[in-house]
Structure 1
Amino acid sequence: MTTILLSIDTDVERATTQAESITELPIRIDDTTIVLYHVFRTDDEGADAGDLKSVKKAKQVLEDAGFDVQIDQSSGDAVRNILTKADEIDAGIISLAGRKRSPTGKALFGSVTQNVVLKSDRTVLLETTE
């Protein structure tokens, strides 16, 4: 059994690209569980990742391909939460969506994607968009 953690932000295009990339992997659909995971920046009790358009779209793409899909969420530090969730579910793959940014942009604003890649000992699948 393989579990894949898709860390989804609010961008529908990136979420769609991430989900589609999973459907192209050489994996057994019936032996794979996908966890769509969104980290909210603040702790908003009324927030529900299942209500996000990006999560809905990724879920639709994956379920249409035959995958078992679960939705989970947290709030706070995205890097720490993604790594912790990957450990909790023993994810075989962490899927992230990055944006192309200049080296200066990365230095000034940091990068959740970059930090997860550097700090994780798990396989990371990175989809980069403009």
Structure 2
Amino acid sequence: MTIVVGYVPTPEGEAALTQAIAEAKKSNDTLLVINSSKGDALVDNRYAQEPDIQSIEERLAEHGIQHIIKQPVRGHDAAAEVLDAADDNDASLIVIGLRRRSPVGKLIMGSVSQRILLEADCPVLAVKAD
């Protein structure tokens, strides 16, 4: 089976990756790391750069985790990319990081995490950064 983790280069993304590694080690599943961008801006701080990707590759190799890292830029939001990856790979679990937001912030900006939690066809593990 496959575990899908939504990754962004933030403390929340690192927390999600750490938990996904632990889950993959327990179940011996392949880990699919999704880091996406809509591609609608010249700079997207949530899109991991090459040093970030190399660090993830090294970390997963150290743990002996079979993995795939995908960085789609297709105009879709992050929730759609994670949900599509989970569906396409028959995921057994999705792991996401959560950040604190006010109720008004959620209302105005929406919530990628909330959409994944509500629409996923498999279990979702949501973690917070330290």
TM-score normalized by the length of structure 2: 0.78
**CA positional deviation for 1:24:** 3.3
Cα separation, 1, equivalents of 2:49 and 2:120? 26
Query: Is contact 2:7-2:14 (8 Å) kept?
Result: no
Question: RMSD of the TM alignment (CA)?
Answer: 2.5
Query: Which piece of structure 1 moves more, 87-96 or 14-23?
Result: 14-23
- CA 1:102–1:43 in 2, change beyond 3 Å: closer, same or farther? closer
Partner of 1:27: helix, strand, or coil?
helix
Q: Hey, what does 1:9 align to over in structure 2? A: 8
Cα separation, 1, equivalents of 2:32 and 2:81? 14
Q: Hey, what does 1:33 align to over in structure 2? A: 30
TM-score normalized by the length of structure 1: 0.78
Partner of 2:64: helix, strand, or coil?
coil
Query: Is contact 2:38-2:77 (8 Å) kept?
Result: yes
For these two proteins, the number of residue pairs brought into alignment is 123
Q: Hey, what does 1:42 align to over in structure 2? A: 39
Q: Which amino acid aligns with 1:6?
A: V
Could you give the per-residue CA deviations for residues 77-119 of structure 1, whole angstroms, max 9, x where no partner exists? 2222221111111111111111011111111111101111011
Q: Which has the higher strand share?
A: 1
- CA 1:71–1:88 in 2, change beyond 3 Å: closer, same or farther? same
Structure 2 spans left out of the alignment, 5+ residues: 42-46
Cα separation, 2, equivalents of 1:3 and 1:89? 7
Q: Hey, what does 1:95 align to over in structure 2? A: 95
Partner of 1:92: helix, strand, or coil?
strand
Output aligned runs, 1:1-130, within 5 Å: 2-11=1-10, 13-25=11-23, 27-29=26-28, 32-42=29-39, 51=50, 53=52, 55-75=53-73, 76-129=76-129
